[in-house]
Amino acid sequence: MKLNFKEYGEGKPLVILHGLFGSLDNWFSLAKAFSDKHHVYLVDQRNHGQSPHTDSHTYEEMAEDLFEFFQQNDLKDAVLIGHSMGGKTALKFAGKHSDLLKKLVIVDMGVKTFPVHHDLIIRAMQALDLNTISSRSEAEEQLHFLLDEEESTIQFLLKNIYREKQEDGSTNYAWRFNLDVLSDDIEEMGLPILTGSDVDTLFLYGTQSKYVLEDDKPEILSLFPNTTFKSLNTGHWMHAQDPEGFVKTVKLFVD
């Protein structure tokens, strides 16, 4: 599979993987911050952004997609950064291909089993009939009606709506991500990581998030023994909530 990607800067490779319902577009400013010393690759994972849509969505498949991406771009000795779903993809990849990595940065994601809590969001997006939507503001209004979520969540989802050209030349709004397949395989997103790696790893987590708790650290260390833990006073979207602190912390670890 050929994943969609964008690249910035020169130097040793640094690859960034977004989270569920995200895309590489969410990481533009961070990529530019890291491009002063690295050749940064922003990657759309399968069923997201402008990468191919497939009939399934598993971490095993996403790790294999990433391995193919490394091969296609002749990457080695790379820094790999993954947020949320991208973090689990990165952990899975490191368990199989640690020889290709210099360092690993996992952003607000652990190795334990997580209860899936995206059901309401998925049902709301499926209830939104994009064929009848005439403007983004109308889509925003309906999502507010369907979802009891913060404004930032609504705006994050709206970034995935685009104009899709039809065969007759007309355009309809559509989701960038493969909503039906993500819905079918959503339980996969909560599965644990069972294999580890001795690659030098940073687990960077938000103190207002529940993905990495103090009690989780022994299990993480049993799989990834060369781990450093760092936290920021943020929630799950730490790279957006404290971008300056995020860049500083990652650069100190990487450089």
Q: What is the pLDDT of residues 174-232, one digit of tens each?
A: 999 999 999 999 999 999 999 999 999 999 999 999 999 999 999 999 999 999 999 99
| Average pLDDT value over all residues in the chain | 94
* Per-residue pLDDT band at 171 (split at 50, 70, 90): confident
> Is the per-residue pLDDT at 166 higher than 80?
no
Strand partners, 200: 103
Q: Are 217 and 92 in contact (CB under 8 A)?
A: no
Question: Which are the catalytic amino acids?
Answer: 84, 180, 236
> Is the per-residue pLDDT at 147 higher than 90?
no
* Per-residue pLDDT band at 151 (split at 50, 70, 90): confident
Q: CB burial class (10 A; 0-12, 13-18, 19+) of residue 143?
A: buried
Q: Just give the CATH number of 5-113+191-254.
A: 3.40.50.1820
**CA–CA separation, 85 and 66 (whole Å):** 13
> Is the per-residue pLDDT at 4 higher than 80?
yes
Share of the chain above pLDDT 90, in %: 84
- pLDDT at position 106 is 98
Residue 241's CB: how many other CB atoms inside 10 A?
16
Between 164 and 212, the higher pLDDT residue = 212
For the chain, the structural domain boundaries read: 5-113+191-254, 119-184
Q: What is the pTM (predicted TM-score) of this model?
A: 0.95
